[in-house]
Amino acid sequence: MKKGENFIKKVEETIKVISVERQADDQITITVDRNDLPEAVRILYYDLGGWLSSMIPNDERQLNGSFAMYYVLSMEGGKMNEGDELPQEEKCWMTVKAYLPANDPTFPSVTCKVPAAVWYEREAFDMFGITAVGLPDPRRLVLSDDWPEGLHPLRKDAMDYRHRPAAVDHKDEPDYDFLHPEGSKVLDVPLGPLHITSDEPGHFRLYCDGDTIIDADFRLFYQHRGMEKLAENRMNYDQMGYLAERVCGICGYAHAIACIEAAEKAVGLEIPLRAQAIRVICLEIERLHSHLLNIGLACEVTGNVTSFMQIFRIREYSMELAQLVTGGRKTYGNVVMGGLRRDMSGEEIKKSLDLLKIIEQQTKEVWDAVMDDKSQIDRWIGVGVLDKQVARDFSPVGPNVRGSGFKRDSRYDHPYDFIDKLDFNIPVEHGGDVFSRETVRYYELLESVSIIRQCLEMLPGGQTVISTRTLISPEAFGIGNVEAPRGENIHWIMHGNAQKVYRWRCRAATYNNWPSLRYQFRGNTIADAALIVCSLDPCYSCTERVTVIDVNKNKSKILTHKDLKQYSQTLKNSPLMKM
Q: Is there a binding annotation on residue 248?
A: yes
pTM of the model: 0.88
* End-to-end alpha carbon distance in the chain: 67
* Predicted local distance difference test score (pLDDT) of residue 579: 39
> Residue 164: its pLDDT value, please?
53
Residue 223 confidence (pLDDT): 62
540: nearest Cα among 228, 303, 301, 333: 301
How far apart, in whole angstroms, are the C-alpha atoms of residue 90 and residue 26? Answer: 9
CA dihedral 346, 349, 257, 72 (to 10 degrees): 120
Beta bridge partners of 188: 205, 547
The DSSP symbol for 190 reads: E
- 534 marked as part of a ligand binding site: no
The pLDDT score that the predictor gives to residue 146 is 75
Per-domain boundaries in the chain: 1-141, 175-225+514-579, 227-391+432-507
Of 294, 308, 300, the closest CA to residue 399 belongs to 294
Q: Judge whether 396 and 512 are in contact, CB under 8 Å.
A: yes
Query: Which fold, 1-141?
Result: Beta Polymerase; domain 2 (3.30.460)
Name beta bridge partners: 107.
132
Is there a contact between 386 and 380 (Cβ–Cβ < 8 Å)?
no
Q: How many residues does the chain have?
A: 579
List own/partner pairs for 376-382 with CB under 8 A and 24 or more apart: 376/299, 376/302, 376/304, 376/307, 377/435, 379/302, 379/434, 379/528, 379/531, 380/298, 380/302, 380/433, 380/434, 380/435, 380/438, 380/531, 381/431, 381/433, 381/434, 381/435, 382/431, 382/433, 382/435
**HEC per residue, 479-503:** EEEEEECCEEEEEEEEECCCCCEEE
- C-alpha to C-alpha distance for 216 and 418, rounded to whole angstroms: 42
pLDDT at 175: 67
Buried b (16+ CB within 10 A) or exposed e, 173-192: eeeeebeeeeebbbbbbbbb
Per-residue pLDDT, 543: 27
Distance (Å) of CA 510 to CA 166, 181, 413, 568: 31, 26, 19, 23
What topology is assigned to 227-391+432-507 in CATH?
Answer: Cytochrome-c3 Hydrogenase; chain B (1.10.645)
pLDDT under 50 in the chain at which residues?
161, 184-185, 187-200, 540-559, 561, 564, 571-579
506 is in an annotated binding site: no
The reported pLDDT for the residue numbered 112 is 97
